[in-house]
Amino acid sequence: MQYFSFPSSLAKITIFLIFSFVFASSANDTHEAFLECLTTRIPSNSTFTPQSIIYTPDNPSYSTILDSTTQNPRFLSSSTRNPFAIITPLHASHIQAALYCSQKHGEQMRIRSGGHDYEGLSYQSSVPFFILDLRNLSSISIDAKSKSAWVQAGATIGELYYGIAKTSLNLSFPGGVAHTIGVGGQLGGGGYGYSTRKYGLASDNVIDAQLIDARGRILDRKTMGEDLFWAIRGGGAGSFGIVLAWKIRLVNTPSTVTIFEAVRSWENNTTKKFIRRYQRRASKTDKDLTIFVGFRTTSSTDEEGNERISILTIVSATFHGSKDRLLQLVQKEFPDLGLVSEECTEMSWVRSIIHFNLFGDEVPLEVLLNRTLNFEMKAFKLRSDYVQKPIPDDVLEKLLSKLYDEETGEGYIEFFPYGGKMSKISESEIPFPYRAGNLYNLRYMVSWKDDGNITRTNMHLSWIKDAYDYMTPYVSKDPRGAYLNFRDLDIGVNVNESDYDYVAKASVWGTKYFRNNFYRLVDIKTIVDPTNFFKYEQSIPPLPPLHSAM
């Protein structure tokens, strides 16, 4: 156990002092005092000075550091409120110092691991703030014998996959697809990929963690207790503390998997028959098979040279088994897909990840260590829904026809199947509640080249709102579900902490992500962070303190 001296009995007095301090001085003075506190609390030595991990706007590397993991260009630094400082700790004690000084000076902290938050919550805010950027805490240690690994929060999922593959091609981890995703954010919010139907979410496979809590203590599963350990696996760890590292369970994987990518035309009636069957069977079929389906418009030129816009149906899959078995299974389950052997490729599991990250099949495994995506991300907005009853044909037709209202290729609809292991795990096992009864996760996405034209941005945003609103009757209800790792501020945000119904207002967005698990998260938050130090636009609120009778 490591503590810094901040007895909770003094907390109230300290908070009072913080407020008087804020009133008595300008924000800039407070920032300066915070930074001075940091340089005092973090010891220098012969090879290290605290200044080397503090980036303020006058540091020439500030913008590079700020933007380097910004995955949604909508929130690049020029168009967004910027942090007054970025801290890149090399050691847990640096995080403890940042926590101590931010509490002392009333500064808001945003925690960033991989920076993939869809709404940019790890690196932007409407209030003055600094970023605690964990990029340099990224070590990974793998134990093939016990099939487990410790991975620090600032590692990417690609670095983890690489480390596992180097140890054994018969082991893997059921996380997300994009290799640049941070382990810190992803495992705190779920984590879904091509192996989830077989093994559950990334968060389902966390078996221990190291967390720094609001009092600056470094806790593990045993010392934090099962309630807090439950909360940080899917409830958004950043409401409860700073995850230093996760211990994860590695899963058995055949040395060869089979992938396919089949592109079909939506105008072909056979494709529509496939989708009708897909909606009913993709979540019921063999858990070795995960088939994603995406729809977007494309432009082509006919014989007369006229441009024609049509909708593509992009079907991609990973099967934990051989090509022969896959072809047999798909022929039986989804005959209308018309899958042919030439569309399928056998490869190692780690190669399948490289493939779906749009690298060639010949590149070295080390591409997974590169922290930049191999394609350009445009500004985007994404929303998600849970589908529990197949969408009627005419409704799906209408939804997809909305793709024509966007510029070619910029609107996107995707189906991501559930079932398999996901249906075997109870709704309250971890905070993530969407288990048995969910056929697939439906995503709406719009992306655009952001040139700062607000009118155009608003047109794109209203496209996605229109699609989302149109689907209201056909998706999960009471509450309408959403997936935390697909952060969406349009389902609601925290407003005013002093409002008597702060928690009730937060339950509007909170029950969409967590259903009834939201209330258990509130209870845990109330115990572990009663003064709401870890707060942001969608952090779990604590219950207000009980007032003593006057």
Ligand X SMILES: Cc1cc2nc3c(=O)[nH]c(=O)nc-3n(C[C@H](O)[C@H](O)[C@H](O)COP(=O)(O)OP(=O)(O)OC[C@H]3O[C@@H](n4cnc5c(N)ncnc54)[C@H](O)[C@@H]3O)c2cc1C
Q: Alpha-carbon distance 312 to 251, whole Å?
A: 34
**Position of tokens 């700790």?**
89
Record the tokens describing residue 11, joined without a space.
Answer: 């907390």
Residue of 73, 106, 254, 390 that binds ligand NAG (CB under 6 A):
254
**Using rule CB under 6 A, residue 191 touches ligand X:** yes
Q: Which does 270 bind (CB under 5 to 8 A by kind): ligand NAG, ligand X, none?
A: ligand NAG
Residues in region 91-130 near ligand X by CB under 6 A? 110-118, 121-122
Instruction: Kindly identify the residues of this chain, within the stretch 384-423, that bind ligand NAG according to CB under 6 A.
Output: none
Give least dist CB 427 to ligand NAG, A: 33
Q: Which two tokens stand for residue 397?
A: 């037709």
Q: Rule CB under 6 A: say whether 355 interacts with ligand X.
A: no
CB of 381 closer than 8 Å to CB of 461: yes
Question: CB of 176: closest distance to ligand NAG in angstroms?
Answer: 18
DSSP character string of 89-154: -SSHHHHHHHHHHHHHHT-EEEEESS---TT-TTT--SS-EEEEE-TT---EEEETTTTEEEEETT
Answer yes or no: are the C-beta atoms of 310 and 296 closer than 8 Å: no
Binding residue for ligand X (CB under 6 A) from 83, 216, 238, 542?
Answer: 238
**Residue 83 touches ligand X, criterion: CB under 6 A:** no
- Considering the complex, state which of residue 332 and residue 477 has its C-beta at the smaller distance from ligand NAG: 332
User: Residue 85 or 528: which CB sits closer to ligand NAG?
Assistant: 85
User: Which is nearer to ligand X, 117 or 406 (by Cβ)?
Assistant: 117
Rg (CA), the chain: 24
111 binds, among ligand NAG, ligand X, none (CB under 5 to 8 A by kind): ligand X
Query: Residue 482 and residue 476: Cα distance in Å, rounded?
Result: 9
Residue 242 binds which entry of ligand X, ligand NAG, none, with Cβ cut-offs from 5 to 8 Å by kind? ligand X
Number of helices (H), then strands (E), in the chain:
16, 18
Q: Least distance from C-beta 164 to ligand X, angstroms?
A: 17
- 135 binds ligand NAG per the rule CB under 6 A: yes
Residues 332 and 348: their CA atoms lie apart, in Å, by 25
Contact between 90 and ligand NAG (CB under 6 A)? Answer: yes
Which of ligand X, ligand NAG, none does residue 231 bind (CB under 5 to 8 Å by kind)? Answer: none
- Give backbone dihedrals phi and psi of 414, rounded to 5 degrees, phi first: -140, 145
Which three-class secondary structure state does DSSP give residue 211?
A: strand
Tell me the closest approach of the beta carbon of residue 374 to ligand NAG, in angstroms.
4
Taking phi first (over 0 means left), then psi (-120 to 50 degrees means alpha), and beta for anything else, what does residue 492 get?
Answer: left
How many Å apart are CA 412 and CA 481, to the nearest integer? 19
User: How many CA atoms are closer than 13 Å to the CA of 47, on its beta-carbon side?
Assistant: 1
518 to 537: interface string for ligand X, x by CB under 6 A: --------------------
> What is the pattern of x (binds ligand NAG, CB under 6 A) and - over residues 30-69?
-xx--x---------xxxx-------x-x-----------
Encoded amino acid at 517, one letter: N
Of 264 and 435, which CB lies nearer to ligand NAG in the complex structure? 264
For residue 226, the minimal CB distance to ligand NAG (Å) is 32
Q: For residues 104 and 75, what is the distance between their CA atoms, to the nearest angstrom?
A: 29
Q: Contacting ligand NAG (CB under 6 A), which of 25, 63, 80, 170?
A: 170
Please select the residue that binds ligand X; options are 173, 192, 274, 533, rule is CB under 6 A.
192
Q: With b meaning 16 or more CB within 10 Å and e meaning fewer, what string describes 247-277?
A: bbbbbebbebbbbbebebebeeeebbebbbb
Residue choice 143, 361, 397, 499 for contact with ligand NAG (CB under 6 A): 499
Beta carbons within 10 angstroms of residue 340's beta carbon: 11
Q: Among 230, 161, 103, which Cα is nearest to 369's?
A: 161
- Give the closest residue to 2 by CA, choosing from 97, 89, 134, 130: 97
When the beta carbons of 31 and 116 are compared against ligand X, the nearer one is 116
Site string for ligand X, 241-260 (x = CB under 6 A): -xx-----------------
Asked if 146 interacts with ligand NAG (CB under 6 A), we say no
CA 416/CA 422 separation, integer angstroms: 12
Residue 325 or 402 with smaller CB distance to ligand NAG: 325
- Minimum CB–partner distance for residue 383 and ligand X (Å): 13
Q: Binds 457, which of ligand NAG, ligand X, none (CB < 5 to 8 A, cut-off by type)?
A: none
Does residue 264 touch ligand NAG according to CB under 6 A?
Answer: yes
CA distances from 121 to 134, 346, 366 (A): 15, 39, 29
For ligand X, how many residues bind (rule: CB under 6 A)? Answer: 33
The residue range among 141-149, 188-196, 223-231, 315-323 that interacts with ligand X, by the rule CB under 6 A, is 188-196
* Beta-sheet pairing, 251-252 with 344-347: unpaired
Task: Give the binding site for ligand NAG (CB under 6 A).
Answer: 28, 31-32, 35, 45-48, 56, 58, 84, 90-91, 135-136, 170, 254-255, 264, 268-270, 338, 370, 372, 374, 453, 455-456, 496, 498-499
Task: Give the binding site for ligand X (CB under 6 A).
Answer: 71, 110-118, 121-122, 134, 153, 176-178, 181-182, 184-186, 188-193, 237-238, 242-243, 485
